[in-house]
Amino acid sequence: MDELVRWLTAQLTEDERIAREASGGTVVGEHGNWQPAPGGDEWEASRTDCDEDELLVALRPGLPRPPDVMSGMWGAVVAFKPEFEDRRVSSPLPEFVHAARHDPSRVLRETDAARRRLERHTPRPMVGRDSDENDPSTYVLGCPTCQADVVSEGDWPCEEMRDLLAPYADRPGYREEWRP
């Protein structure tokens, strides 16, 4: 397997692990046998009537409710209530909204989509400009989705793969030659 593919797979696996670790408040199953929802928690940011900002685990429509939850949302992941601070300065609601926008269920959907894209763009040996068609040892790596013709050394990673890698540019192991 190509080093880039191994590295990106490891990044996706870590994102998935963190999302699953952060998840667990949304449950499915029969009473007494609740299991974490496989799609991950969905979070919602809100401000209560008591001026408390909360990041809540949201109950998705159609999921069975735990017996102690009558309606709506449940389970504050994070809650903040100012005491004497100026609310315009100290409110974490924008951060909560951002976290809710990138909740565990979204991260799990994104990692699934990235894995599908990675599968479509995983390199394989292809006939290169200087390759002998009858000698696979002279082939070069190319993208079977993007590069249908003869490829040149350096055509891999393809533009799609470079874009897929871009969000991980700040992680250890990322290489400058992968940059879009």
CA 176/CA 99 separation, integer angstroms: 29
Interval 105-133 mean pLDDT: 89
pLDDT at 84: 65
Give the residue-averaged pLDDT of 72-81: 72
Q: Does the pLDDT value for residue 153 go beyond 80?
A: no
Largest separation between any pair of C-alpha atoms in the chain: 77
Percent of residues, the chain, with pLDDT higher than 90: 32
pLDDT-derived band of residue 67, with 50, 70 and 90 as boundaries? low
Can you state the angle between helices 104-121 and 3-22, rounded to 10 degrees?
160
Contacts made by residues 66-74, CB under 8 angstroms, sequence distance 24+: 66/27, 66/34, 67/31, 73/44, 73/46, 74/25
